[in-house]
Amino acid sequence: MYLLGEQSAWADALINRLQSLPALWLRDLAPCGPALELQASDDLLTQLPADQLFLLNEGLINGCIGARPLFYWQDGDLIGLQRGKDWADCRLCSDGALLLTPYRRQEVFQHLYADARRADQFLEYLLGQMAILAHAVAELKPREFRSTNGFKRVEAGETLIKQGDAADHVFVIIAGHAEAFVDGQKVGDVARDEIFGAMAVFTGEPRNATVIAREPSTVMLVPGDQFLTMTCTNPKIAHSLIESMARRIGQLNRQITHMKPAEEQI
């Protein structure tokens, strides 16, 4: 069983090796009946006896979780291992003809564990598939919001960002509080869990504000290029950034309103 989608050269090599194993195990075991020739189907398991396993000789089988195709099996794979309540939502289907050789499930396992070499190969088969799936999931899963530079502890009054400096990092306050200043005037607060310093990273322009810790704080530093990649792959980060920017714009609008002469506010 392998995930649909493009595989790395490493995964392709492992898949090819794993597919050769079931035929080796079953070489000395007699099938429990003639080969089955099946046509395209939306639910193969309803056509396959639950007490049997099948060597897939010809064709391609897709596995769907819910309505989404996620897995596939091809020539040389062992079909029917994925049975039981834990796989109740898994549906096997095919778009073309299949040729399957049937074996009694219990006889297959007895045959495998009767020989130490076959038992080791079966374990290799299962662990190999787990490794392929883990590798594929790691490639598909969006990167978590983690910093390759780690965390920094700062004291009250320490400058985190200086107006006019080049922007190479984005920051998140993990614990503590900070204040933002433009030309020496306070323009807002930076609260815990808020992303700051991102605007200059997006525009490539110098920092437009200075940020100073108001109390002892812990800050996470994220390299600018990593942050840009994460905003494309992780909607939560983009949502948090938009929320932070909207809050900051609201603060600036209130300040501008208070600064207007009385006759302009009428």
Q: pLDDT digits over 156-196, tens only?
A: 999 999 999 988 888 888 889 999 898 998 888 888 877 88
**Segment 50-59 mean pLDDT:** 93
| Mean pLDDT of all residues belonging to the chain | 81
230 vs 213: CA distance, rounded Å:
26
Query: Residue ranges of the domains in the chain?
Result: 2-140, 151-265
What is the distance between the alpha carbons of residues 44 and 161, in angstroms, rounded to a whole number?
A: 61
Classify domain 2-140 by CATH number. Answer: 2.60.120.10
CA 89 to chain centre: 21
- pLDDT-wise least confident of 36-50, 83-97, 187-201, 223-237: 223-237
* Of residues 230 and 89, more confidently modeled: 89
A 10 A CB-CB count for 255 gives 13
Task: Using alpha carbons, list the distances in angstroms from residue 253 to 58, 88, 247.
Answer: 68, 55, 10
pLDDT surpasses 80 at 59: yes
Average pLDDT of the segment spanning 87-108: 91
Evaluate whether 35 touches 100 at the Cβ level (below 8 Å).
yes
Q: In the chain, pLDDT over 70 holds for what percent of residues?
A: 77
Q: Residue 31 and residue 15: Cα distance in Å, rounded?
A: 24
More confident residue, 231 or 125: 125
Structure-model confidence comparison of residues 8 and 143, the more confident one: 8
Q: What is the mean pLDDT of residues 32-51?
A: 91
Alpha helices in the chain (DSSP H): 9-19, 21-26, 105-113, 116-140, 198-203, 224-233, 235-259, 262-265
State the average pLDDT over residues 221-241: 71
| pLDDT on residue 214 | 93
Confidence of residue 221 (pLDDT cuts 50, 70, 90): confident
- The hierarchical CATH code for the domain 151-265 is 2.60.120.10
pLDDT over 60 (residue 89): yes
Residue 81 pLDDT:
86
The predicted model gives 81-88 an average pLDDT of 79
Question: Average pLDDT, stretch 29-35?
Answer: 95
Per-residue model confidence (pLDDT) at position 263: 47
Q: Which residues of 27-44 are buried (b: 16+ CB within 10 A; e: fewer)?
A: eebebbeeebebeebeeb
Task: State the amino acid at position 46 in one-letter form.
Answer: T
pLDDT of residue 34: 95
User: In this model, does residue 30 exceed pLDDT 90?
Assistant: yes
* Banded pLDDT at 147 (limits 50, 70, 90): very low
Residues 6+ positions from 105 with CB-CB distance below 8 Å:
50, 51, 52, 53, 80
Q: What is the pTM of this model?
A: 0.52
Give the CA dihedral 14, 15, 19, 25, nearest 10 degrees.
40
User: 2-140 and 151-265 share one CATH topology?
Assistant: yes
- pLDDT computed for residue 12 by the predictor: 77
Given a cut of 80, is residue 218 above it in pLDDT? Answer: yes
- For the CA atoms of the chain, what is the radius of gyration? 30
pLDDT at 265 over 50: no
